Each structure stands twice: as structure tokens, then as C-alpha cells.
Amino acid sequence: MKKLPIAVLVSGSGSNLQAIIDACESGKISGEIKVVISNNPDAFALTRCKKHKLKSAVYNHKDFPSKDAFEKEIIKVIEENGAGLVCLAGFMRVLSDNFVKHFSGKLLNIHPALLPSFPGLHGQKQALDYGVRYSGCTVHFVDATVDGGPIILQSVVPVEPNDTKETLAARILKEEHKIYPQAIQLFAEGRLKLRGRSVLIASKK
């Protein structure tokens, strides 16, 4: 099976990037990370890239005259590296409609809540504040809405009575590291089919 070329966009520690790296190296993902792009020059994710000898690039959004100019540069790098899938892994910039349309059907994100509940920032705190019994995480296709794209996979975790946002976040993160690589592999196998807002998972051939 031909390896899927992947680009990953990061801003912080890169723990989901690490999960993708590990899954590629172990063969759980039939893919290869071609480039990691960060808007934060101090992101620990870049240290992970060095350790695994992955190509990385830093484009600080503050150095560009406009959002459009910033995104055009990122698009250029992604295309130069031949990526067939773009994965957001803690990328802390809201992408424009033009960027999303450019990679329509090839742009994935992971969110620390059971969408459509608690989109946006601090999904874990939102869940605790609301008093839900269960939370979790969601891998979805990215569309023009914030965390509103078609859902691919979700994983549920219980909310314990003594949970803080940190303890709940840690429990959710473990599940993120499981389902993000799973969703990427389903994409690599060509098994994800969009039907309206629904994502159908075809059986393995």
C-alpha cells in the first residue's frame, strides 16, 4: 500500500503529533509525515521533529502583513511537500474559509470534547462547568465553522466527581492519541465517505 503523504500543523507541545509519528513508525498508519508546520517558533513539537528527523518549518503569523499572506505561505509549503492530508494537531489559529476550501475533504482536526457540544477553546472546562457526566474527544473533517465539520470518530470518557480541568484533560488526551491515528489510517485506506454531514466508514477491502 502506497504511503499517504501527511502535513501536520502545530502550535504547542505536539503530543498528538507524537501519536501520529509513533503510529507512522510502527505501521499503524500507512503514511509518512512530509512536513510539520508551526506558527510558534518555541513549540516543543519542533523538538519532537528534530528527534525523529522530520522536516519542519516555522511561519510566525505575527511576521506576516495579513492572515491571507500567512495562509498562502502555509499552503505553498504543504503543496511543495506533496501532502495528501493535512492534520491540525493543536494548531491555535482559526483558518480562513479559503484555506479550508483549498483542502476540502483533506483537512482533519481533533477536539477535546464530544462535538457538537463545547466547541472552541477549553472544551474540558466547558464540560465541567456544564456538569456533564461524560466527555471525550472528536476527530472531524474541518469546514468553515469552528469545530463544526463532519464527525469521523469519537471516544467517550467518564467525568469523575472530583475532576479538575487538568485531570479530565489528561484522561481525554489518552483517547485523543488513540483515535486520531485511527482516523488518519481510515483516510489512508480510502474508507471515509462523506454523505451530507455524515461520514460513512466503508468496510476494509
**pLDDT for res 128:** 97
Classify residue 118 as left (phi > 0), alpha (psi -120 to 50) or beta.
Answer: left
Rounded to whole angstroms, how far apart are CA atoms 103 and 79? 10
Whole-prediction pTM? 0.96
Taken in order of first residue, the domains within the chain and their CATH numbers are 4-201 (3.40.50.170)
Return the C-alpha cell found at 6: 501527511
- Per DSSP, helices labelled H in 1-44 are 15-26
- Given this model, what pLDDT does residue 205 score? 74
The pLDDT value given to residue 202: 96
Which residues participate in catalysis according to the annotation?
A: 111
Q: In the chain, which residues have pLDDT < 50?
A: none
Q: Where are the alpha helices (DSSP H) in 33-162?
A: 45-51, 67-80, 97-102, 123-130
- What does 83-103 look like in DSSP terms, one character per residue? -SEEEEES--SPPPHHHHHHT
| pLDDT at position 204 | 84
Other C-beta atoms within 10 Å of 155: how many? 18
pLDDT at residue 32, as a whole number: 98
Write down the pLDDT at residue 1.
73
Grid cell digits, residue 131: 456538569
